[in-house]
Amino acid sequence: MEMVSAQRQKVHPHKFTLWIAIGSIIMMFAGLTSAYIVKGSLPGWSTVEMPKIFFYSTGVMLLSSFTVQFALKSFKERKMNLYRRLLTLTAVLGILFIVLQVMGFEQLTASGVFLSGSTGAGQFLYVIFGLHAVHVLGGAVALLVMFFKAFSRKFRNYNAVPVEVISTYWHFVDVLWLYLFIFFLIKR
């Protein structure tokens, strides 16, 4: 009996790997935001107005967190048609977030803020928000893989672990975005 309960308490290897990756990503963004704070106190630092479109992308990201959570719930309840629709909506929202980010970068460029040649907050905004967008893109690719598996006749696996992993990762990039967004609002 002890052997069975000990096995049930083990963390699935995919979940463990995800948590290691999340820890690494947190350390990277903590280092970048710390560098922003340190550099912001130096002479010649220039601030930047955050594009309004980033407010919309924040709403999209928050909404996608709800849809992925309800997709997971639907999967666990074996409501596969609802799961497919919610997973599709989450993937669309993830792609929309990236499109809005690109539009935000275009607004920055139009206002004279460039990645190279400018000093201060603009460069950090490009690097930090760009790195976040890359992580969202990775999550969107994973969502698309899950999407194709959900609609494939070949895959009929009801293992919830992959859905739990993508859901956890998606919530993470959502919370990370909120942190970065609020950080840049406060520190400009």
Mean pLDDT across the chain: 90
Phi-psi region of 155 (alpha: psi -120 to 50; beta: other; left: phi over 0): beta
CB 40 within 8 A of CB 187: yes
Nearest to 149 by CA among 98, 93, 96, 91: 91
> What percentage of the chain carries pLDDT values higher than 90?
69
Query: Measuring CA to CA, which residue among 94, 32, 10 is closest to residue 60?
Result: 94
Task: Give the pLDDT confidence of 3-33 residue by residue, as tens digits.
Answer: 555 556 788 999 999 999 999 999 999 999 9
What DSSP string describes 10-59? SPPHHHHHHHHHHHHHHHHHHHHHHHHHHHHTSTT----PPPTHHHHHHH
Better-predicted residue by pLDDT, 88 or 156: 88
Give me the CATH topology for the region 2-186. Answer: Four Helix Bundle (Hemerythrin (Met), subunit A) (1.20.120)
> Residues 30-84: pLDDT tens digits?
999 999 999 888 888 888 888 999 999 999 999 999 999 999 999 999 999 999 9
Alpha helices in 111-160 (DSSP H): 121-151
